[in-house]
Chains A and B, each alone.
Chain A
């Protein structure tokens, strides 16, 4: 009986510590796009003051890997106002390591919106004429050197880019993993500015 006095509170505290709601995010659906949705507009060579553009487009009807029917992402997300993804630019320093480049002053918006700083948070906005979510923005390359671009992803493979719907009113949130034509297996596009 004396042992019970110690075992009982220990069990209680253990169970209370385990009492949480971290079972997962049950409004989110993860899927993979068959086609590349994000494109780095690469050039054969880069010179100082060139602008490197990244554009993204998600069609209303998406061809999903492993599915025969197209997926209506507007209906799935309850007409989500935007999708978003994020990327960052790094420059190799003298010590042969990579520094993150703050792009706040060098970002050139074109389509959609973006928050800029140590990384770009890009928002694709829906174009009802073309029936697609679209973003295009550029980074002016103001200093010579070796650079690389990578995308922030929650995919298990680095060369997939994650685009997430900003669904409202508790509608389904889509996490779309897009292949990229420009990234290496480690998830980088590396280039040199002369």
Chain B
């Protein structure tokens, strides 16, 4: 996973070096206002399916929503063995982005997002069996809302096929006794713009 991300970073820097730093906006790409993509790193690395739809309003702003669902064997094993006390299962993440570059075919962007997310939580509880006390691990579900922000880089090939790398993180707000303190949006996505 770390190697993949490292290769992605190096690749992005290389690809960026091949492009004019801030080339003029392509009129062709502006006509394509919709994009769908999937995060390949989370799919391969952690069996987490992530699908995103994004709508481009103009050369500066876009908005979209990501849907994530996780069912990783490693996460499940770690959760059952007690190496982690949460098992995130789903998230719905609407976001708004701002293009930080002049180019529309390769650019950096800033993003703010909110996240509705949920999963399972476990905790050791002390109970009484009528006579004596005992400890038991109890599992329960959590659901929470969080906010966050991130930065990313996007590159289009032939104004249609997008490669995107993003790093973002935020915090859950309401059910913090159970939900993870930090929510992250780190991934390398491949998309199609139409």
Contacts and interface: CB of A to CB of B under 8 A. Distances in A.
A120 B80 CA distance: 31
Interface in B78-112: 78, 80-85, 100-101, 108
B81 A27 contact: yes
A61 B134 CA distance: 10
Contacts of B123: 26
B82 A26 contact: yes
Given A1-B100, A13-B9, A72-B129, A23 B136 contact: no
Contacts of B128: 69
Contact of A29 (B13, B80, B135): B135
B167 A8 contact: yes
Interface string A16-36: 110101011111110000000
Contact of A69 (B2, B132, B136): B132
Contact of B101 (A1, A26, A172, A173): A1
Given A25-B83, A29-B135, A72-B133, A12 B5 contact: yes
* Most A C-beta atoms less than 10 A away, residue of B9, B128, B132, B136: B132
Contacts of B116: none
A28 B13 CA distance: 45
Interface residues of B, number: 38
Given A1-B108, A26-B122, A75 B129 contact: yes
B124 interface: yes
Contact of B82 (A5, A17, A170): A170
B82 A12 contact: no
Given A8-B153, A69-B132, A16 B108 contact: no
B124 A172 contact: yes
Interface string B51-95: 000000000000000000000000000101111110000000000
B124 A29 contact: yes
Contacts of B83: 21, 23, 25-26
A9 B80 CA distance: 34
Given A11-B167, A12-B5, A174 B135 contact: yes
Interface in A90-139: none
Interface string B112-153: 000000000011100011001111110000000000000101
B82 A28 contact: yes
Interface string B158-171: 00000001010100
B72 to A, nearest CB: 12
Contacts of B13: 5, 9
A13 B7 CA distance: 11
A70 interface: yes
A103 to B, nearest CB: 33
Give the 7 A-B residue pairs with the shortest CB-CB distance, closest first.
Answer: A27-B82, A75-B134, A26-B85, A76-B135, A26-B82, A72-B132, A69-B133
Interface of B: 1-2, 5-6, 9, 12-13, 16, 21-22, 78, 80-85, 100-101, 108, 122-124, 128-129, 132-137, 151, 153, 165, 167, 169, 184, 186
Given A8-B151, A172-B136, 4 more contacts: A8-B108, A19-B2, A21-B84, A172-B135
